Amino acid sequence: MRKSIFVLGGLAVMLGLGFVLAQQDWDKVTIKTTHVAGNVYMLEGRGGNIGVSVGEDGILLVDDQFAPLAEKIRKAVQNLRPGDIRFILNTHWHGDHTGGNPIFGKESTIIAHTNVRKRLMTEQRRGSRVTPPAPKEAWPVITFDRSVSIHFNGEEIKVMHYPRGHTDGDAVVFFTQSNVVHMGDDFFSGRFPFVDLDSGGDVEGLARNIGQIINELPADVKIIPGHGPISTLDDLKAYHTMLKESIVHVRKQIEAGKDLAAVKAAGVPKEYSGWGWRFISAERWLEIVYRSLTKK
């Protein structure tokens, strides 16, 4: 029972539900800083990985985790370079990536896809769960539909929208000179992803988007996933293979007339038996794929 509550609580954090915040012991969270390449660093704390561009133009963050961690994040950034955080890029709307927006948005310019602003401005519902609108300070003030470029710290930081993947507002951030890409939650490294079907996500769309991104990346690129360690192009290819094979695996069973219970009972292909984790077990992943393919 305790394990079930923990898993549900973890999913709630990923979905941006505010009531979970009160259950966290934020004092125990530490922020780990890792140099990725060029001007780019990665911060790990609790929630989605943060990308940081540091240089003569100042500081830019990709995502900002949770509001109670804002001062710890700020301190970690100041240890890299003193100064103001000029820009925040949000890769999507979920609270473990945008929770710091109300704090940082008072002093920084927030940039995101149009659908991120729409979702942060309005109440979001999933069955009986309700996420209230974020405060105005959290709303992106610059939005884009397909792409936007920020010329900052000696490189073009190119932000591209890939539709109907993890959500309907996903952005992937390319640091073109540093040879780093921040994938947001389009990429869970070495593990099954959460695909938010209730926010416009789609498993087939995610697989298609990852295939397109792979074709655009150099072999020696460094990848910051939404969750997981700094990764390589081979790691992303392995993830893409898992997505494609999961779709084929579940579709064959649907075409054979199997319902969700039977699909779960059959399990995932054995080569992916170790990809389940505390938030997305193998059963939960099969349910996501099934729901996405059947639109149930």
DSSP lists the bridge partners of residue 157 as 150, 175
> Are the CB atoms for 195 and 203 separated by under 8 Å?
yes
| Pairing label, strands 222-227, 180-188 | parallel
> Which residues form the domain of 163?
2-240
pLDDT at 21: 54
CA–CA distance, 20 with 14 (Å, rounded to integer): 10
**Single-letter amino acid, residue 154:** G
Token pair 């994938």 in the structure block, residue: 183
Q: Which residues of the chain have pLDDT under 50?
A: 1-19
CA–CA distance, 31 with 44 (Å, rounded to integer): 5
Q: Looking at the domain assignment, is residue 121 inside a domain?
A: yes
pTM more than 0.95: no
pLDDT at 3: 35
Number of helices and strands (H, E) in the chain? 9, 14
Number of domains in the chain: 1
CATH of the domain at 219: 3.60.15.10
Q: Looking at the domain assignment, is residue 7 inside a domain?
A: yes
Q: Looking at the domain assignment, is residue 280 inside a domain?
A: no
Token pair 């923990």 in the structure block, residue: 6
Residue 138's Cβ-side half-sphere holds a number of Cα atoms within 13 Å equal to: 26
Give CA angle at 80 (177, 50), nearest 5°: 65
Q: Looking at the domain assignment, is residue 275 inside a domain?
A: no
Q: Looking at the domain assignment, is residue 141 inside a domain?
A: yes
Q: Looking at the domain assignment, is residue 184 inside a domain?
A: yes
Sign of CA dihedral 146, 14, 45, 283: negative
**Single-letter amino acid, residue 199:** S
Q: Looking at the domain assignment, is residue 126 inside a domain?
A: yes
Each residue's pLDDT tens digit, 54-92: 999 999 999 999 999 999 999 999 999 999 999 999 999
Q: Looking at the domain assignment, is residue 114 inside a domain?
A: yes
